Structure 1
């Protein structure tokens, strides 16, 4: 919360965008419910349990012994996370994993969200997925995630870039190999030249011819 206030006061910043994962998204929602930063931009949530978590409910009877926070994150209507209000005036984008066993697709939904998209991923690695990064960049720029057409175009462009990079790397390796080969040829020629006696020249050559 203090860091968000500091960023809001920073004269060098005009917008502050936030990206969260899992419980971090709930922390963002709570922070924004307490304070409304003037420079706040857009918010991207990765696999957030916005509607609570069924897994948290199943584990709450055990977790309550260790941390009351577990009970606050269940999918029950009275849980704290279900009662947390969404601040007005902000754009929230939600990226969910379609193989997420911690925050299922419907549990990531947020009333008032600007956009919602699901990608092939589980809960723990969704933030490492290139497609998640591409969707995040698109939302921070435009307030909307990539369309299916844009996803396919991006995938094709990525394939072409990789192929071009492979060709460039192959060409570079071939060039280095040719340079090393030429260097070996030059070294052998230099050693051979040192071993072979040089023919006489100048007065020595004239004396040698006179002797013959």
Structure 2
């Protein structure tokens, strides 16, 4: 199981989720990247390399990605060549970009390219990223997410979509997210 954090986070934020997944029998790879200064494409290229080189011998790789990590994941998967890919759970993904990024891009977009890329503008990287993933995709969102509104989280290929009573970052620490992800990885749905 590959676990991927979001913008301005560190993989340590996903350590509690990894521990809960390990107790459910998963081996976790908590993949980290320096999200602020590099583009989503650069991170996606690094993730693709990790998937096809370091994880090629794994029987199956399920992916749990939070926020911008979802865009990094989608870009990496769009490059193809990952034959052992399992199911994917995206947590609060800015699938269609986010208005927050559009508003702050004029302030910090010059030093953080990925902020511009996460904008909900029609020509942003997030908006132009392919919305088709050949594997089962589940999306978990937060009711009180002021960073990525629920309407921005949908992706054309999603198989299931659910919203929790949470905020954007509290999803990272939610045992309920772990339970939902576990059920999705096993059955392709969040609920029976």
- Would you say same fold, with TM above 0.5? yes
Q: SS in structure 2 opposite 1:114?
A: strand
Shift of 1:9: 2.3
The structure 1 residue matched to 2:177, chosen from 125, 132, 151, is 132
Bigger Rg, which one: 1
Q: Map 1:182-201; keep pairs closer than 5 Å.
A: none
Question: How many angstroms apart in 1 are the aligned matches of 2:49 and 2:136?
Answer: 22
Question: How many angstroms apart in 2 are the aligned matches of 1:17 and 1:88?
Answer: 13
Q: Structure 1 runs of 4+ off > 2 angstroms?
A: 6-9
Question: How many angstroms apart in 1 are the aligned matches of 2:89 and 2:173?
Answer: 14
Question: How many angstroms apart in 2 are the aligned matches of 1:15 and 1:68?
Answer: 32
Query: Alpha carbon RMSD of aligned pairs, Å?
Result: 1.4
The structure 1 residue matched to 2:161, chosen from 89, 92, 116, is 116
| 8 Å Cα contact 1:47/1:123 also seen in 2 | yes
Question: How many angstroms apart in 2 are the aligned matches of 1:137 and 1:68?
Answer: 33
TM-score by length of 2: 0.72
| 8 Å Cα contact 1:127/1:133 also seen in 2 | no
Instruction: List per-residue Cα deviations over 1:137-178 (Å, max 9, x = no partner).
Output: 01000110126xxxxxxxxxxxxxxxxxxxxxxxxxxxxxxx
TM-score by length of 1: 0.65
Q: Map 1:112-191; keep pairs closer than 5 Å.
A: 112-146=157-191
**Count of residue correspondences:** 145
Instruction: List per-residue Cα deviations over 1:76-104 (Å, max 9, x = no partner).
Output: 11111111003442111100000111111
Question: How many angstroms apart in 1 are the aligned matches of 2:50 and 2:106?
Answer: 34
Aligned match of 1:3: 50
The verdict on how the C-alpha distance between 1:64 and 1:27 changes in structure 2, with shifts beyond 3 A counting, is: same
The structure 1 residue matched to 2:84, chosen from 25, 28, 39, is 39
Q: Map 1:64-103; keep pairs closer than 5 Å.
A: 64-103=109-148
Gaps of 5+ in 1: 148-212
Question: How many angstroms apart in 2 are the aligned matches of 1:6 and 1:27?
Answer: 17
Q: SS in structure 1 opposite 2:158?
A: coil
Q: Which has the higher contact order (CA 8 A, sep 6+)?
A: 2
Shift of 1:131: 1.2
Gaps of 5+ in 2: 1-47
| 8 Å Cα contact 1:97/1:119 also seen in 2 | yes
Question: How many angstroms apart in 2 are the aligned matches of 1:2 and 1:8?
Answer: 9
Structure number with higher strand proportion? 2
Q: SS in structure 1 opposite 2:88?
A: strand
